Amino acid sequence: MNALHFAGLIALTLGAYLVTRRIFLAYKYPLLNPVFLSTLVIIAALKAGGYTLADYQPAKEAMTFLLGPATVALALPLYHNRAVLRNHALPVLIGVIAGSLATMAAALMAGRLLGLGKGVLISLGPKSVTVPIAVEISRLAGGEPTLTAAFVVATGMIGSILGPFALSLSRVKNPVARGLALGTVSHGQGTAVALLEGETAGAMGGVAMAIAALLTALIAPYYLPLFLP
Amino acid sequence: MTSRFFSIAWQILLLWLVFRCGTYLVALLHLALPGNVAGMLLMFALLASGVVKPARIEAGGGFLLKHFAFFFIPISVGLMAFGGLMRESGLALLGILVLSAAVGVVVTGVSVQFLHARSSR
């Protein structure tokens, strides 16, 4: 992998992002989610050019370098919305806990109904929490960490596209509720969509992500076995 | 223009330092949290206690948050490696992920909206 390829892959990713972001901001339609569209374009381009995922890896490392500080920056909208947390701590906590438990139960029950093996079921369990935690939970519970990482990323995508629809269908308009719902189910990616909806929703996405991560790590060892064959 | 660029860069460096502290704390205390989430909570504590004024990180933080979605593009490209699994049992897995995401989103959204309205009265 030479420097030219490396720069080209970064340019491809940046270009796809800038164009799809424009499209999304012009229409604000959930299916036009910039992460979804860019990913499709990039995978198609990589396949067409005969590249493998391994070729893309160095560019990925370089581009996700700032994800850590970006997540830390979520403290800002959280700080601006601290009154929400102070005044509505209980609804926030109850909502995130209920959603986390419900999404895990739904995934495992549906998976069992469809006859998935125990390993795949365990790997599905932590799909709604951010990758570094999900992978660790899966490994400790006897799942397959790489499979879990794929489920987490897919859930991030699905929730951030489908979530806004599902919320609007069920008449959830409150930005606090929308942000929490997106962050609970789709971690950082859901939070990214919540941020596009507004600052309050974005702040709540970050809160939900943190609570869901902590809760799932604590209860998964006891909760997941309830749904296993 | 250039001074704005430097203040953004400087502030991102500051956020990065807090991120490293979060990662270090998690390892030190064996917490069940990723370093970036711990860093977010640490940054919130710094802001809430008044140690760091929000204006000190507003330009850099605002820039990163504006483009937060960008970071998930290179991560999502990783799904490319699961083409085989998707061909085998992709439809079942997709159905499960869609159903469970919808259930979670609606449960959290509806319950928070209901409880929030009640606690606002």
Q: Looking at residue B121, what is its pLDDT?
A: 62
Largest CA distance in chain B: 54
Q: Model confidence at B1, in pLDDT bands (50, 70, 90)?
A: low
In which residue ranges of chain A is pLDDT below 70? Answer: 1
- The Cα–Cα gap between A21 and A76 comes to 23
State the Cα–Cα distance between residues A175 and B9, nearest whole angstrom.
Answer: 31
Please, what is the average pLDDT of chain B?
A: 89
Q: Under a CB-based contact definition with an 8 Å cutoff, are residues B88 and B94 in contact? A: no
Q: Do A76 and B112 touch (CB under 8 A)?
A: no
Interface check for A31 against chain B (CB to CB < 8 A): the answer is: no
User: SS in 3 state form for chain A?
Assistant: CCHHHHHHHHHHHHHHHHHHHHHHHHHCCHHHCHHHHHHHHHHHHHHHCCCCHHHHHHHHHHHCCCHHHHHHHCHHHHHHCHHHHHHCHHHHHHHHHHHHHHHHHHHHHHHHHCCCCHHHHHHHCCCCCCHHHHHHHHHHHCCCHHHHHHHHHHHHHHHHHHHHHHHHHCCCCCHHHHHHHHHHHHHHHHHHHHHHHCHHHHHHHHHHHHHHHHHHHHHHHHHHHHHCC
Report the percent of chain B where pLDDT is more than 70.
98
Task: Give the pLDDT score at A32.
Answer: 86
Give the C-alpha separation, A208 to B83, whole Å. Answer: 31
Comparing CA positions, the residue from A38, A36, A53 lying closest to residue A154 is: A36
Among the partner residues A74, A90, A178, nearest to B119 by beta-carbon distance: A90
User: How confident is the model at residue B29, as a pLDDT?
Assistant: 92
Alpha helices in chain B (DSSP H): 2-29, 35-48, 58-66, 72-76, 83-120
Please tell me if residue A148 touches chain B, with a CB cutoff of 8 Å: no
Instruction: Give me the mean pLDDT over the B62-85 stretch.
Output: 86
pLDDT for residue A113: 93
Contact predicate A200/A81, CB 8 Å: yes
User: Does A82 contact chain B (CB < 8 Å)?
Assistant: yes
Confidence of residue B4 (pLDDT cuts 50, 70, 90): confident
Answer yes or no: do B92 and A188 touch at CB < 8 A: no
Pairs of CB atoms within 8 A across A/B: 324
pLDDT at B120 over 80: no
Residue with tokens 């370093």: B35
The pLDDT value given to residue A100: 96
User: Is A92's CB within 8 Å of B104's CB?
Assistant: no
Predicted pLDDT of residue A130: 84
Mean pLDDT over the full length of chain A: 91
Which residue in A65, A71, A97 has the most chain B C-beta atoms within 10 A of its own C-beta, making it the best mutation to test that interface? A71
The pLDDT tens digits of the residues spanning B86-107 come to 777 788 899 999 999 999 999 9
pTM of the model: 0.84
pLDDT tens profile A105-148:
999 999 999 988 898 999 999 999 988 788 878 888 888 878 88
* CB–CB contact A91 B57 (8 Å): no
Number of Cβ within a 10 Å radius of residue A115: 10
